[in-house]
Structure 1
Amino acid sequence: MHPDEARPKTDSATPTAYTIAVLCWLLSAGVYIAAKWVGPEMPPWTLCFARLLIACAILLPFVRHHYGTMIALLRSRAIELIIVGALGLAFCQGLIYTGLNFTDATTAGIIMALTPVMTVVLAHFVLGETLGLWKALGALLALIGMMVIVGHGDISALLRLEFNLGELFIVAGALCFAIYTVLLRRAKFGLELMPLLVLLLAAGALTALPFFLWELLSGKHSALETNGLLALAYVAGPGGALMYYLYNHSVESLGAGRASMMLYLQTIFIAVLAYLLLGESLHGYDLAGAAFIVAGLGLAAIKTKPPRADKAAQAG
């Protein structure tokens, strides 16, 4: 998903556009539930590879009119495409699916809410974007929230560096997606959203292929039964190709900023679905960590007033 490539159409921010964005994040939340559900039947990198490959195959016919420009971009910037696709679509998902073997889907959803704050901080160092006091404080609060969740609210565990392995995988996945977002902004591939997405899905599938083969050769075979097949069909279809298509539509309709901010709905949807379908419940440390993260997101969203024109002129 790559909001930086969009050209927002401010006049199309209708209730229908918001409805599509909400549906997008509901489908995305369902992927966490399906991945947690299918964990005993399908290894994480096998799920990652299958999802990316099938989603790419589903979307490929819809971008046939762009094949020429897609091939030209591949010839000129293939390495960049592979790096960006690997980080955002292969490593991010593979790490999340691995982490879900050791932690709740609810906790994973809360941790993933850190992604926008991570992106803001990385954009400061990589792209030179202004960080500012409020964003810096927001990032600090969000970091505290993440540590509360990873340490399960136990300060002594943090001091002893005793963490839940699954939650560390989720944090690594969130960091990969933040790096992906920043690199995508920097790359400016100059291709429309959907054909670029197909190329990145293909790059992600190519990156996940060695990990899938490693799982296969090490005896971690998929033992898919009805539940596993249903989960795979969901993450590749409604939770994959359709979700990406709806996200691209919401970016074009609402603009990158508003569409990206609706990411936070994903955390709520994950918590509700995990409670209804997986029987999960929120822990005290989840709520405490979420409070810090929400406070951090609120501070990071504060917009400071730009300098007055006369002062700017004097400074120049």
Structure 2
Amino acid sequence: MLPYLLMIMVVIFYAGNILVGEALNDLPPLTIAFARLAVAFLCLAPLAARTAWRSRALFLHEWKPLLLLTLTGVAFFNTFIYAALQFTSSTNVSVLETLIPALTLALSALVLRERLRILQWSGLALSILGALWVITDGQIFAVTQLQWNIGDGIMLGAVASWAVYSIAVTRYLSLFPTFGVLLVMTGLAAMILAPLVALEWMVLGPPAFSPTEHLPGLLYLGVFPGLLALLFYNRAVQQLGAARASSFLNFLPVATMAGAVLWLDAELTPAKVTGALVVVLGVSITTRAGRRPSPRPSPAPGSAHPSSPNETLRN
């Protein structure tokens, strides 16, 4: 039950990520992404600095998977989203985000050799249909009439980044200490983005920052989608697998709709409620049809089980 609750919280935080990211689009995208990372890093440092320092040899030894996790899940996924929102609408972003579970499911079969059932694909297709029903308010064929632009192409980069990140979490994240790796990934991502932010400011000029207007949104992005959502998603993927966990992301349009109804006075229509129920049904089918990863067999009594250097460092 816990991983499902974690994924529901992830969806809520990421729905806020879209709404707040769109509200902050008067700031340039790399600046938003960098500020978000700075907030998350400052929150993590008191909790994880000691663990990260003790595990420094592990991080250096496993630098390749660490870099893959950092680039796909921390540095560029949200940068792509904020850049896309400069050109396209949150509706288009929500439509394209429905591709993430399908791509993750395909990569799970291809890379992780996960055995996927027809029922899983059917549940995923149903949840995508429900998500599109919510987005279009029941006018499903209106998707073909959306105005697509360069922002939608940028959003495809976010879709690919998160699908690859989900697979990398399944394969590599267990190598690292939970909080220590988040601190290192966040700091490394900030270092990667820093020169790009400087270039952005050289081209566009320094942004006009208003503490009262921008700071609350940046704090939200750093603490909730930047830190807690990443922590919860990592834990859920390790327990459910990438394919099953990512299927919950089709709740994003539902959560975004709920946020718009609660805070932006958007209209709640029967079609949107119907679409939300279809998403629930589709995700339920996908998660119930999937298999849990087989637990690692325990060593026989009396058998030798020397710890690897990585295990020693994690402890």
Alpha-carbon distance between aligned partners in 2 of 1:51 and 1:290, rounded to the nearest angstrom: 30
Note the alpha carbon deviations across 1:113-146, whole angstroms, 9 max, x for none: 4322221101111222223434455666778899
Q: Which of the residues 195, 198, 201 maps onto 1:216?
A: 201
Note the alpha carbon deviations across 1:129-180, whole angstroms, 9 max, x for none: 2234344556667788999989x9468779xxx7343333333312210111
Could you say which residue in structure 2 is the equivalent of 1:33? 19
Is residue 121–residue 131 contact of structure 1 (8 Å, CA) maintained in 2? no
Q: Give the C-alpha shift of residue 34 in structure 1.
A: 1.2
Is residue 105–residue 271 contact of structure 1 (8 Å, CA) maintained in 2? no
Could you say which residue in structure 1 is the equivalent of 2:255? 269
- Gaps of at least 5 residues in structure 2 are 292-315
Alpha-carbon distance between aligned partners in 2 of 1:172 and 1:259, rounded to the nearest angstrom: 20
Could you say which residue in structure 2 is the equivalent of 1:115? 100
Q: Give the C-alpha shift of residue 62 in structure 1.
A: 0.4
Q: Normalising by structure 1, what TM-score?
A: 0.70
Alpha-carbon distance between aligned partners in 2 of 1:139 and 1:183, rounded to the nearest angstrom: 21
Is residue 119–residue 179 contact of structure 1 (8 Å, CA) maintained in 2? yes
**Alignment of 1:55 onto 2:40:** yes
> CA RMSD of the aligned region, Å?
4.3
Is residue 121–residue 139 contact of structure 1 (8 Å, CA) maintained in 2? no
Letter in structure 2 aligned against 1:31: N
Is residue 250–residue 279 contact of structure 2 (8 Å, CA) maintained in 1? no
Q: Which of the residues 186, 189, 213 maps onto 1:204?
A: 189
Q: Give the C-alpha shift of residue 243 in structure 1.
A: 4.2
1:210-289 alignment runs, 5 A limit: 210-225=195-210, 226-245=212-231, 247=232, 251=236, 255-256=239-240, 263-278=249-264
Could you say which residue in structure 2 is the equivalent of 1:97? 82
Note the alpha carbon deviations across 1:176-207, whole angstroms, 9 max, x for none: 10111112323355123222222222232233
C-alpha distance 242-136 of structure 1, shift in aligned 2 (>3 A): closer
SS of the residue corresponding to residue 76 of structure 2 reads helix
Alpha-carbon distance between aligned partners in 1 of 2:220 and 2:290, rounded to the nearest angstrom: 42
* Identical-residue share of aligned pairs (%): 24
Could you say which residue in structure 1 is the equivalent of 2:179? 194
C-alpha distance 146-27 of structure 1, shift in aligned 2 (>3 A): closer
Could you say which residue in structure 2 is the equivalent of 1:7? none
C-alpha distance 117-30 of structure 1, shift in aligned 2 (>3 A): same
Q: Which of the residues 54, 57, 61 maps onto 1:72?
A: 57
Aligned length: 286
C-alpha distance 154-272 of structure 1, shift in aligned 2 (>3 A): closer
The more displaced of 224-233 and 110-119 is: 110-119
C-alpha distance 168-145 of structure 1, shift in aligned 2 (>3 A): farther
Alpha-carbon distance between aligned partners in 2 of 1:180 and 1:250, rounded to the nearest angstrom: 13
Could you say which residue in structure 2 is the equivalent of 1:88? 73
C-alpha distance 187-106 of structure 1, shift in aligned 2 (>3 A): same
C-alpha distance 22-53 of structure 1, shift in aligned 2 (>3 A): same
SS of the residue corresponding to residue 221 of structure 1 reads coil
SS of the residue corresponding to residue 39 of structure 1 reads coil
Alpha-carbon distance between aligned partners in 1 of 2:131 and 2:13, rounded to the nearest angstrom: 24
Letter in structure 2 aligned against 1:199: V
**Alignment of 1:126 onto 2:111:** yes
Letter in structure 1 aligned against 2:33: C
Q: Give the C-alpha shift of residue 94 in structure 1.
A: 0.9
RCO (CA 8 Å, sep 6+): is it higher in 1 or 2?
Answer: 1
Q: Give the C-alpha shift of residue 222 in structure 1.
A: 1.8
Letter in structure 1 aligned against 2:217: A
Q: Give the C-alpha shift of residue 97 in structure 1.
A: 0.9
Is residue 111–residue 146 contact of structure 1 (8 Å, CA) maintained in 2? no
- Gaps of at least 5 residues in structure 1 are 1-9, 306-316
